[in-house]
Amino acid sequence: MTTSTLPLSAAQPCATDGIPLEWHRRCTSYAINVNGSSTLSMEQLRTVFATAFSQWTNITCAGESANIMVRQMDEFTTCAQAAYEARGTNIQAFALSHDWNPMYDPNAYAVTTVWHNTQTGEILDVDMEVNENRGPYTMCPDEGCTDGSVDLLNVITHEVGHYFGIGHTIIPSATMYRASPPGETGKRSLEVDDIAAYCGIYPPGALPDACEDAPHGGLSTDLSCGQQDPAGCCSVAPFGGYAHTKSALFLVGLTASIAVWRRRRVR
Ligand SMILES: [Zn+2]
């Protein structure tokens, strides 16, 4: 993903202009929405998100780790939407909801919003919304689900790629491919293309050693979506402009599903 504002397509899912989006800090944190999921327990949700992140942060690039740490907060957030306050406090909120934003594609399993500095590409805040209407979400057996249920870990491992600033790929077997059939579990594990993207953005030693995981502007103390600086204004952020980009993982129809499924099963 980059600061580009040009539209992307299935044929060209990867921006080739603009400045790449990336974290400039090694440590970050997020909170799960207090309402949890309609089908999974809070404990299961915690496991799914933690497992998805560990798939990425356990990557080694030429034998070395980028040493990136993402902490799941013990507290739950009341924030259920994508929000960023340039002059106030924030929280990185991950929420599952049946109340799907009408501006979003109803075929999306999830939408990840990456707020970033438009001049430097630095990622400032990431919020993740999961569409419960595309479920029901479950934890499928390794071989996948055949009853129409959706494997949440499959979806979240893909979305976490966006958390790190990685866009979509044209390689159907990769975790960062833009579409997924229901019940697929192949995106739980990362492929060569996914690892190359991560190592390209975060080569070991590229990020500062310091580990401060509070959100930009400080943590929203009431664990809501964040608060504007009461003394603040305005449309211009202190560091220049900021914007967000939204990325989704989409349901694919049956024919395409089977093709992708088979390709993944034979690996
Ligand atoms: Zn996506």
Query: How many angstroms does the Cα of residue 223 sit away from the middle of ligand 1?
Result: 26
State residue 230's pLDDT score: 61
> If you count them, how many residues does the chain have?
267
Look at residue 240 in the predicted model and tell me its pLDDT: 57
Q: How far apart are CA 98 and CA 145, in angstroms?
A: 21
- Residue 123 CA: distances (Å) to CA of 81, 97, 113, 243, 267: 18, 25, 10, 10, 34
Query: Around Cβ 50, how many Cβ atoms within 10 Å?
Result: 13
Alpha helices (H) along 214-267? 254-265
Distance of CA 176 from the midpoint of ligand 1 (Å): 6
In this prediction the pTM is 0.90
Q: What is the pLDDT of residue 231?
A: 58
How much distance in Å is there from the Cα of 66 to the middle of ligand 1? 23
How far is it, in rounded angstroms, from Cα 263 to Cα 267? 7
DSSP 8-class letter at 133 = G
Strand partners, 93: 31
**CATH code given to domain 27-226+234-265:** 3.40.390.10
Report the separation in Å between the CA atom of 221 and the middle of ligand 1, taken as the mean of its atom positions.
30
Rg, the chain, Cα only: 18
**Cα 116 to ligand 1 centre (Å):** 17
pLDDT of residue 35: 97
Tell how far the Cα of 168 is from the centroid of ligand 1, in angstroms.
6
pLDDT at residue 242, rounded to an integer: 77
State whether residue 218 is helix, strand or coil: coil
Mean pLDDT (10-residue bins), the chain, 267 residues: 82 82 96 97 98 98 95 96 89 94 93 93 95 96 96 97 95 94 96 97 94 91 82 49 82 48 39
Tell how far the Cα of 71 is from the centroid of ligand 1, in angstroms. 22
Question: For position 238, what pLDDT does the model report?
Answer: 46
Helix (H) or strand (E) run with residue 200 in it: helix 192-201
CB 92 within 8 A of CB 29: yes
Q: Where are the alpha helices (DSSP H) in 25-118?
A: 42-57
**Residues near ion ligand 1 (Cβ under 5 Å):** 247, 249
Distance 245 CA to ligand 1 centre (A): 11
Å from CA of 48 to ligand 1 middle: 17
pLDDT at residue 61 in the model: 97
If one counts every other C-beta atom within 10 angstroms of the C-beta of residue 63, the result is: 6
Which amino acid, one-letter code, is at 43? E
Q: Domain-by-domain residue ranges, the chain?
A: 27-226+234-265
Angle between helical axes of 42-57 and 152-163 (0-180°, round to 10) = 50
Q: Is 161 exposed, middle or buried (0-12, 13-18, 19+ CB in 10 A)?
A: buried
